[in-house]
Structures are given as C-alpha cells and as structure tokens.
Structure 1
C-alpha cells in the first residue's frame, strides 16, 4: 500500500495560539481534535498533529549551501503562486523570518525558493517552491 500523506506530531505549546498561526497565518485547516490535548492540521495534504505542551524543541544549525539552517525542521513544497501568497500572509501578519526567502541552486534543475519561519512554540518550518518539482525524485 502506498500513501502520499505524511503524519508528523510536534509539541505546540498553547493549542489556541498554535491554531491561530497555522490556520489564520499559514492558511491551513483543522481536522480531528481532542480539546486541550491535540488538534490535527491539514498541512498541505499531510497530517500535522499539534500537541498541547510545555516543552519546546531545541534547534541547532547545520551548514548547507545557503548557510547554517535550523535542525530539526519540516515544511511543504508549494506551487509558486501558493508560495508567494504564503509569503504575503506572513508579511501581512508582521512575522519575522528565521531565514529570509532565498533562491538556491539557481540555474540548476533543483532551483528553488525557500524560507524558514518559527511557529509560536519554536518549531521551525522550511517552505519551498521548486522550479521543476517533477525532477525532485527522478
């Protein structure tokens, strides 16, 4: 059996604050939930479960071509129009990028625009728009 839906559960801090960020800023929708404990988020077709928590994940930086990026992180690959609309929503909300939008691998088949942002609990998200998404796993 093959599925194209990934499930990821992360500590979210205060659920209401997290839901506001993921739904109102990023544009995601909620799914199943258990009040005060967890909520499922439709994260571009993937199931992201936000758990009420006290703890935050520690982040470290690893060197890559664009500099030192935060690890761990997760995110989504978006069509360019959705990626640009997401950047506009982030800017309209007055949020700061952890790592500002950057073009990687310019002129290469893997060319992409990417940025990093933290959610209210410190989870790091990397959002991408690939020029040639069909070549990602050739």
Structure 2
C-alpha cells in the first residue's frame, strides 16, 4: 500500500469475480485484498477498488459486504479519521439524508473501519471510510 492515507475508493460491478481477479490481479499486477465469493478488493496503484459480482452482467443495485447491502456502483474516499469525522459532522449539519448513517464496520476483524453512505443529488452513491489501521485497507 502506498503511504497515502487518503485514497480514492470505487466499487464497481463485474460479471465474474474470478475473471476480475485474473485481470486486475494477474494481468495488471494489482495486489488482492479481502474477498468473498461476491467481491474482491484490489490495491489499484495505492487506491481502493472493489469488484462486486453481477451474475447477469447487468449493473448491480446492491452488493453484500459484512452482512449489509451496499449500493453498487459507488465511489468515495478512504480518509484519515479526523477528516472523516469532520465530513460526517458537515453532512449531518447540512441535513443530508444518509443511506447508511456513520457507523463501524468489520468490528473486531482485520480491516475494521467506520463508514457512511449517501447519495448525491443526481443519485450517485458515495461511501466515505476511515480504517482504524490504514495498512489493513488491502488485507486478504
């Protein structure tokens, strides 16, 4: 992982997770992080990509992560904790409706982080995260 704590984050649909692993992992050389049968994390040149399965090849509406349905596709940033907390306060103060209120995910597991989901006025899903240990962003 690069030394950059603030990383771009993109979750996108794929038709086959193994195919995505071969392309992004083997062909492009992106180290693979945490995964499941429905998703695969990649260290995309220091940024955080997550490929979510779309069995029928159509764009997903939701994927599964840590037992929760998440909108796919979505994008955002992995921020340091102080910037994440300031953004959460700013969004709350502005009266933004959250798809997922700021909360802890992967509690007690490697990769534990806080997250929040919201939609912009055009309906684009956004996620902002802050890992307890940024070095665990891409752990398998």
Q: Normalising by structure 2, what TM-score?
A: 0.54
Equivalent residue, structure 2, for 1:62: 63
Q: Deviations over 1:42-67 (max 9, x none)?
A: xxxx9xxxxxxxxxxx8611222241
Q: List alignment gaps of at least 5 residues for structure 2.
A: 11-46, 48-58
Give me the CA root mean square deviation. Answer: 2.5
Equivalent residue, structure 1, for 2:115: 114
| C-alpha contact 1:61 1:71 (8 A) present in aligned 2 | yes
Aligned length: 86
Matched, 1:99 2:77: no
Cα gap change, 1:70/1:79 in structure 2, threshold over 3 Å: closer, same or farther? same
Greater gyration radius: 1
| Cα distance in structure 2, aligned partners of 1:117 and 1:132 | 23
Q: Normalising by structure 1, what TM-score?
A: 0.55
Which runs of structure 1 show a deviation greater than 6 angstroms over 4 or more consecutive aligned residues?
none
Equivalent residue, structure 2, for 1:22: none
TM-aligned CA deviation for residue 104 of structure 1: 1.1
Cα gap change, 1:59/1:90 in structure 2, threshold over 3 Å: closer, same or farther? farther
